[in-house]
Structure 1
Amino acid sequence: METITENMLNVTLLEPRQKHPTIFARFDELEEGESLTIHNDHDPKPLYYQLLGERGNIFIWEYLEEGPQWWKIRITKRITGEQEETLGEIAVKDLRKAEVFKKYGLDFCCGGKKTVKEACAEKGIDVTKVEKELQQADKNPAARPLPYNDWSLDFLADYIVNTHHSYVRKTLPDIKAYALKVAQVHGAQHPELIPIQQLVEEVNKELSEHLVKEEEILFPFIKELIRAKDRSQSPRAVQFGSVQNPIDMMEAEHESAGKCMEEIRALSNNYALPEDACASYSLLFKMLNDFEEDLHIHVHLENNILFPKAIALEKHLNP
């Protein structure tokens, strides 16, 4: 019986031993950019991993229908040279998808240079579920997110200072005070509060120095690059050489602060409150959760938008 119609393969009409070999053969016949849609009576997730293992990351897997009776999946062969987007690049294009990354604990800011497959493999997460939710996010009604990627670099730098740097300076002293207070009162019953308080101190020290370096050294130089471009001039020579050098330092400090916040989340079991939690305990965990949310966006704007554009601008001015 013919099982191929308009590049669709009805897998249910094949004998079990013929299913995967037939799908592989049909996939291999595809030209770059072409797709094969398979129709099945169960989720063919094992096929995804077999195809990835035997053919490599040369395909896009998209669920068109997901049960309960039928599954329909479109498999598209990637075009040679077409790079899979990283977490950071995906978040830059659509910040709604960052919510999917946060749900699964995938770092799109400090770890934004990894692909979805790489990040999921590191954490042992089912990549098909993550990719499916990312595709679903495309269908969700779009809010009106701020157009960060369209802003000039000087405007974006000022926004980061006025919004995120200001938030850090306003919030961290309170978090420090509550972390110390709660550790002193509840530390005997909940020993994890002691390292949490120490990690808060570490984040405070790291970011307090970090903000000053960005505001007094890196961001002014980025603005100077913009002025040089506007005047068709070469930027002045600076002690640190290329803008890449302070950016490397800032990214390393972002990663250090991000790891501290990850440890705090792990120690607190995702900020789960015990039955004997007082109001200060509850407020501390709420503030830590909010602070981490803000830090993700803060670092995303720098690592994935401001810094790459500054590096590209410098290269344009000094070809």
Structure 2
Amino acid sequence: MKYSITFKRNPMYTESENILDVTVLEPKQKHPTIFVRFDMLEPGADLTIHNDHDPKPLYYQLLGERGNVFIWEYLEEGPEWWKVKITKKDEGTTEESVGQLAANDIRKAQIFKKYGIDFCCGGKKSVKEACKAKGIDVTRVEKELQDADKHKAANLGSRPIDFTKWNLDFLIDYIVNTHHNYVKASLPEIIGFSEKVFRVHGKRHEELFQINELVKAINAELTSHLLKEEKVLFPYIKTLVSQQNEEIEPFSENFGSVQSPIAMMEMEHEEVGNHLATIRSLTNNYALPADACNSYGILYKFLEEFEEDLHMHIHLENNILFPRALDLEAKLKQNQC
């Protein structure tokens, strides 16, 4: 759509700072004027708009008509003024996925968790795609992510652990010792409580049958899954590290590429994640019924803790370990050519 706009001088229309006060414009000219000003921006340049109400509808219109080519940042949010800086992305810039955002700053994982956004199994989606799928206000989520960046810059001395900086072999050992061992220790207890609670309360709470079946399925799937990682995939990734460090000679693996087992592991992660999401839905977010006994409460507590641990477990693998292993393998093969 083409617009023809005549600009009138006013105190808040500033070419040098690229600030536009839309309150001085006629209502029918507000969005067209902003679109013209945005289209005039060079990649990396920004436009700040001043308004007397939240311009959120503009965000959705700009996204719909121009696509994901801008960064939207609230500078002020009422009660008198709303100020938003709209930056045109550099050409070729790709939007980070929720998994990448969580990998680069674990604080953002907590924001995704708050809104029920899957950053582990569903970590390849963009923030906009994830919010659309959940029916969540994307501007609110992006505002909190921007606030996390500001908080991170202001508190460099209190940063959380940056797993992306760890050596791959050390990261693997951490995953096995922290998360694999937790799964192996906790699942037998969860199965025992699940069977007990179903036996005692199953007639009054029919969902317990499905929960018990899902727990058994999770146990069967993860038992096989952890074994494949510990006996096949993880040792191979460690050999890649050894090749990089020139500790061993290059060799040919028998499964073609690390991509094949990684794809298998990611598929299995998604299946177990779906089982746990179903359990959360069946339990109404682990809300205990009025007639729940102590074992009922322990079961729900175990399940919620297990889900929490598995999210971090899968995040470390899907969003950090696996992409870095793929990059390392590609670099080693390129060097061999």
Same-fold status (TM-score > 0.5)? yes
Instruction: Identify which of 250, 253, 266 aligns with 1:251.
Output: 266
Secondary structure, aligned partner of 1:30: coil
Give the Cα separation in 1 of the matches to 2:77 and 2:205. Answer: 44
2:203 counterpart SS class: coil
Do the aligned partners of 2:243 and 2:249 also contact (CA within 8 Å) in 1?
yes
| Matches of 1:239 and 1:162, distance apart in 2 | 27
The structural deviation recorded for 1:178 is 0.9
2:206 corresponds to 1:197: no
Counting aligned pairs with the same residue, the percent is 62
The worse-fitting range, judged by mean Cα deviation, of 29-38 and 225-234 is: 225-234
Q: In structure 1, how many angstroms separate the alpha carbons of the residues matched to 2:325 and 2:100?
A: 16
Matching residue of 2:13: 4
| Equivalent residue, structure 1, for 2:177 | 162
The answer to whether 1:66 aligns with 2:81 is: no
Question: Quick one: distance in 2 between partners of 1:214 and 1:220?
Answer: 8
Superposed, 1:18-97 pairs within 5 Å as: 18-97=29-108
Q: Which secondary structure state, in structure 2, belongs to the residue aligned with residue 9 of structure 1?
A: strand
Deviations 1:6-57 (A, max 9, x none): 2111111111111111111111111110111111111111111100000011
Scaled by the length of structure 1, the TM-score of the pair is 0.96
1:102 maps onto 2:113 in alignment: yes
CA distance in 2, matches of 1:146, 1:52: 34
- Offset, 1:68: 2.2
Write the deviation string for residues 58-108 of structure 1: whole angstroms up to 9, x where unpaired.
Answer: 000011111222211111000010101101110111000001111111111
Alignment of 1:251-290 (within 5 A): 251-290=266-305
Q: CA deviation at 1:232?
A: 7.3
SS in 1 for 2:256: coil
Q: Does 1:207 align with 2:218?
A: no
Given residue 197 of structure 1, which amino acid in structure 2 is its aligned partner?
N
| Deviations 1:208-241, CA, capped at 9 Å, x for gaps | 1111110011111111111112117653222212
One-letter amino acid of the structure 2 residue matched with residue 230 of structure 1:
N
Please give the secondary structure, in 2, of the residue aligned with 1:109: coil
Q: Which amino acid aligns with 2:88?
A: K
For structure 1, list consecutive stretches of 5 or more residues without a partner in the other structure: none
- Report the equivalent of 1:225: 240
Return the alpha-carbon distance in structure 1 between the equivalents of residues 83 and 205 of structure 2.
Answer: 49
Which residue type is aligned with residue 171 of structure 1? S
Is residue 104–residue 162 contact of structure 2 (8 Å, CA) maintained in 1? no
Summarize deviations over 1:155-211 as a string: whole Å, max 9, x none: 000000000001101111111111111122222222112111111111111111111
CA distance in 2, matches of 1:182, 1:69: 56
Q: Is residue 2:168 matched to residue 1:153?
A: yes
Partner of 1:134: 145
Q: Could you tell me which amino acid in structure 2 is paired with residue 189 of structure 1?
A: R
d(CA) in 1 for partners of 2:222, 2:308: 15
Q: Secondary structure at the match of 1:46?
A: helix
Count how many residue pairs are aligned between Structure 1 and Structure 2: 319
Question: What is the CA–CA distance in structure 2 between the aligned matches of 1:206 and 1:224, rounded to whole Å?
Answer: 26
Counterpart-to-counterpart distance in 1, 2:123 and 2:113: 12
Q: Tell me the residue number matched to 1:310.
A: 325
Task: Give the partner amino acid of 1:110.
Answer: C
SS of the equivalent of 2:79 reads: coil
Q: Is the 8 A contact 1:243 1:314 kept in 2?
A: yes
The gaps in structure 2 that reach 5 residues or longer are: 1-8
TM-score normalised over the length of structure 2: 0.91
Secondary structure, in 3 states, of the residue corresponding to 1:217? helix
Of 44-53 and 266-275, the range deviating more from structure 2: 266-275
Between the aligned partners of 1:140 and 1:285, the Cα distance in structure 2 is 34
Q: CA deviation at 1:138?
A: 2.2
State whether residues 183 and 193 of structure 1, in contact with CA within 8 Å, keep that contact through their aligned partners in structure 2: yes
The answer (yes or no) to whether the contact 2:105–2:162 under 8 Å persists in 1 is: no
Moved more, 102-111 or 139-148: 139-148
**2:255: which partner in 1?**
240
Equivalent in the alignment of 1:114: 125
